[in-house]
């Protein structure tokens, strides 16, 4: 289990972060919340988002002593509701229609800016985004949140919709626009680690 956690952190390039961190760790696409262990090791406040019920229940057990604290909503560019295409067996559930989903239903979605404002977060150490193709939309709804974030790690793999498009180009363009620089990337997973160029966020 320890080796799996180490490898998971490496896949999101979290092992590349050497400086001290403080504040929140926001986990979008938390699944069962394994990265909560990384958050606790860094003494960060873990905020998990996972719309799949069983996975969210496991995330609660793994991180909150079973208390229902995992956010059972999707993240998007704005608050509302959207169709959700459930494919939990391969952890490929998405807000975009994909091949092989087992069911679809409407879920609540919200912007990260809305959540951060509601919870009065004033410092974010890390935002991890694994959203099966919805990464650009999530970033579009997180402009204010990014101003108080130090690092953002994004899975930009080929997962957007039936065409299985990568989100690498739009994600990089958005992050540059929001004042971040790419400091590491995982070629195999197409994951990029970004750092805020505003040094006051360190």
Name the token pair of 98: 């994909």
- Binned at pLDDT 50, 70 and 90, residue 41 comes out as very high
64-81 residue pLDDT tens: 999 999 999 999 999 999
Burial class (CB in 10 A: 0-12, 13-18, 19+), 143: middle
State the average pLDDT for the chain. Answer: 93
Choose between 105 and 200: higher pLDDT. Answer: 105
In the chain, the percentage of residues whose pLDDT exceeds 90 is 77
Spell out the domains of the chain, with CATH numbers in brackets.
Answer: 2-16+25-201 (3.40.50)
Contacts of residue 164, defined as CB under 8 A and 6 or more positions apart, other chains included, come to 158
Distance from CA of residue 1 to its chain's centroid? 21
Report pLDDT for 202: 54
Give the Cα-Cα-Cα angle 193, 197, 198 (nearest 5 degrees): 130
* Residue-level pLDDT at 201: 60
In this predicted model, what pLDDT tens digit does every residue of 160-177 receive, in sequence order?
Answer: 877 789 999 999 999 999
For residue 10, name the pLDDT band (cuts at 50, 70, 90).
very high
* pLDDT computed for residue 59 by the predictor: 98
């Amino acid at each position: 289990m320890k080796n799996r956690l180490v490898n998971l952190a490496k896949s999101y390039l979290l092992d590349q972060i050497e400086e001290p961190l403080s504040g929140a760790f926001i986990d979008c696409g938390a699944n069962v919340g394994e990265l909560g262990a990384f958050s606790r090791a860094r003494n960060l406040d873990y905020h998990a988002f996972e719309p799949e019920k069983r996975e969210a229940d496991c995330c609660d057990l793994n991180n909150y002593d079973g208390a229902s604290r995992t956010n059972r909503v999707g993240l998007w560019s704005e608050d509302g509701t959207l169709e959700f295409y459930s494919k939990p067996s391969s952890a490929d559930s998405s807000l975009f229609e994909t091949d092989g989903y087992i069911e679809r239903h409407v879920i609540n979605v919200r912007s990260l800016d809305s959540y951060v404002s509601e919870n009065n977060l004033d410092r974010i150490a890390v935002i991890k985004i694994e959203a099966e193709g919805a990464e650009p939309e999530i970033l579009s709804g997180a402009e204010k949140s990014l101003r108080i974030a130090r690092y953002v790690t994004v899975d930009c793999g080929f997962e957007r919709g039936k065409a299985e498009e990568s989100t690498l180009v739009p994600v990089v363009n958005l992050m540059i626009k929001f004042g971040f620089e790419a400091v590491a990337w995982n070629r195999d997973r197409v994951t990029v680690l970004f750092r805020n160029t505003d040094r006051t966020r360190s």
